[in-house]
Structure 1
Amino acid sequence: MPASLMSSRRLMATLTAWLVLAAPVLALDLNIGYQKSAVNLASLKAQGVLEQKLKPLGVEVKWFEFQAGPPILEAMNAGSISVGMTGDSPPIFAQSAGAEIVYIGQEPAKPESSAILVPTQSTIKTLADLKGKKIAFTKGSSAHYLTLSALQKAGIAYSDIQPVYLSPSEARAAFERGSVDAWTIWDPYYAAAQRAGGVRVLASGKGLTSNNTFYLAARSFAQANPRVIDLVFKALTDNNAQLSGEVKKVAATLSGYTGLDAATYEVMLSRHPNYSVDYLTPAVLQDQQKVADAFHGLGLIPRPIKVQDAAWRPSRP
């Protein structure tokens, strides 16, 4: 083979290799499902941080807001959402229903960020007084588990209350017109109700639930895109450090993107200032298994599940 031809081929191989390395590693949509309670995600959205970090990889970030966790995971199982954040109970119901989703990360526990509310003048003074009462909450949400835990502590059977399954906005309307006796809810809806007045906290989640927050992904997305998840977690971790001590600034930013007033977010942030994100720990998975067992024990999910089966961790940290 002539030396000139060999040289040309080597040059072409070198150029091809360089072009492969220089080209975007990925070309996909990262569809993120978030709620008004997703302080860290909503803050990143407001700043456009993820868009900046992921654009060089050919990843387009798209945001979709939901009222609660269950519809986020329904959309994820249907292929419309790549990554999302929910409380402890939605993934239990999703896994039990056979959804192809996985836990990819966690935030620190926040038991005081959820509560069971009653009207100020209500005759309900203790958890035991909930027997026979109508309690509003979103089915399959963290509020559902808080309700179960509160009833268990009071020695009340689930069949001895009247659960009223409503979205947060529907539940607040029912609560304010007196159609239900109590309302189990999480921040920032909890904080908003307190600021509006006319409510009394019967019990927060303290001593009843860890109220863990999880990041989840479609199983296929997580398996194919560990690098994207790494970058999302890094952005969330870096952003959490910036959030620390900037309550008023963060509250104002979030208010502009969610429609809730800044004072509501200030109350929420004062209750739970840490929104750092990390990969799953064995202790949190054990805690989550207790949640799953409680729902199955009452027949609220159709089959027992092993939370560990839906736990994911990349092959490289």
Structure 2
Amino acid sequence: MSPLPQGPSRRLLLAGALAAVSAAVTGCSADSEAATSGGAKQLRIGYFAFPSGDLLVKNRKLLEKALPEYTIKWIKFDSGAGVNQAFLGKSLDIAALGSSPFARGISGGSPIPYKVAWILDVAGENEALVARKDTGITDVAGLNGKKIATPFASTSHYSLPAALEAAGLAASDVQLIDLQPQPILAAWERGDIDAAYVWLPTLDELRKTGTQLTSSKEIGAAGKPTLDLAVVSDELIGRDPKAIAAWRKAQAEALRLLKSDPDGAVKAVAAEINISEADAKAQLAQGVFLTPEQVVSADWLGTHSGPGKLLTYVSDTSAFLAAQKQIDAAPSEDAVRKAFYLEGLSDVVK
């Protein structure tokens, strides 16, 4: 999901952030002072209408049950850009965020004050490269000279060059167009673009009149996975680590429910994003959901004893963003490591 644009001045970004955040976030901004004062029992959580354990936590009120003395506010976002802006505006405590916008958020001289604390899912068939059927394109190599839309600096943008490279193409061999998911759909319907790399639910709309050429599942299997992470504000880490522990346990329970109660998971997702149960089942089947034990393993997030391979994945993503001139320079490995909140992770699976 796409991140916050970085310009020459973080001050300008901060000044514009509150105006740029959605009305829902603006509505909760008045609560920011109370939420960060140390006395209020409130958690403001950003989420996406995207199938993951997050929707089960919300639908089944797992966090409300674990923290009955807290007011839990769920705030919907459409992209990582909005999430990053909201953290800059101190309007969020916890939120879902793609690995690419996270990598961008921790870059620069004034990184966003948050840390990754959980993995929601690994991108699978729920993020893919699709060409319009009427172009006659049936493989990635056929995109030579064609117009491809993707949200720049997003997880899809990170995966697209890998797909082109595997097919013997360079980014310069195609016309890349920076569009968010909804404008991608509009451009697709007008015939302004030949292909797009994007995620659900827009992806399913494109598939109706498109041919899928590759997916993030295939690209991840080749060594370049992208993920949906969950980040927590530095302020919350300092103020209320017990709330973070309860939230992690709720997320772990949701991951277990995705496997132990698939029918219940389908009903929850369908209700949360207002789609049929058949569509919810199909969308869930496209995701890659780890077990809590996998999340805290060395293969992924790791524990307080040391970060897992996610450290390398985020560092690689940062290097890609720097090469694409989306950021001035990639953060050091030490800077990426400092953006991991691993304390207490091993307790989740006890």
Same fold by TM-score greater than 0.5: yes
Picking from 240, 243, 266, the partner of 1:251 is 266
**Is 2:293 the counterpart of 1:293?**
no
CA distance in 1, matches of 2:262, 2:56: 12
Picking from 111, 118, 125, the partner of 1:105 is 118
* Structure 1 length-normalised TM: 0.82
Picking from 74, 98, 106, the partner of 1:63 is 74
Contact 1:133 1:162 (8 Å CA) reproduced: yes
Aligned to 2:186: 173
Two-structure CA RMSD over aligned residues (Å): 2.3
1:191-225 CA-partner distances (Å, limit 9, x unpaired): 3543xx21110111234231222111222222332
CA distance in 1, matches of 2:153, 2:253: 31
CA distance in 1, matches of 2:261, 2:202: 21
Pairing 1:200-239 to 2, within 5 Å after superposition: 200-209=211-220, 210-239=225-254
1:23-73 CA-partner distances (Å, limit 9, x unpaired): xx96332111111115211122122221121123xx211011111222112
Q: Residues 129, 158 of structure 1: CA spacing in aligned structure 2 closer, same or farther, 3 A cutoff? A: same
CA distance in 2, matches of 1:212, 1:300: 19
Contact 1:119 1:200 (8 Å CA) reproduced: yes
Picking from 53, 67, 76, the partner of 2:66 is 53
Picking from 66, 73, 89, the partner of 1:78 is 89
* Structure 2 length-normalised TM: 0.75
Paired letter, 2:154: S
Aligned residues: 289
CA distance in 2, matches of 1:67, 1:242: 25
1:223-256 CA-partner distances (Å, limit 9, x unpaired): 3322111111111111222232544442233222
Q: CA deviation at 1:273?
A: 5.8
1:259-317 CA-partner distances (Å, limit 9, x unpaired): 23332221121223635454522212112211111221232221121322311222674
Aligned to 1:15: none
Paired letter, 2:94: V
Picking from 37, 55, 61, the partner of 1:42 is 55
Contact 2:52 2:121 (8 Å CA) reproduced: no
CA distance in 1, matches of 2:113, 2:238: 12
CA distance in 2, matches of 1:223, 1:38: 30
Q: Residues 261, 135 of structure 1: CA spacing in aligned structure 2 closer, same or farther, 3 A cutoff? A: farther
CA distance in 2, matches of 1:297, 1:273: 28
Q: Residues 26, 73 of structure 1: CA spacing in aligned structure 2 closer, same or farther, 3 A cutoff? A: same
Paired letter, 1:251: V
Consecutive unaligned residues in structure 2, runs of 5 or more? 1-37, 303-307
CA distance in 2, matches of 1:156, 1:223: 47
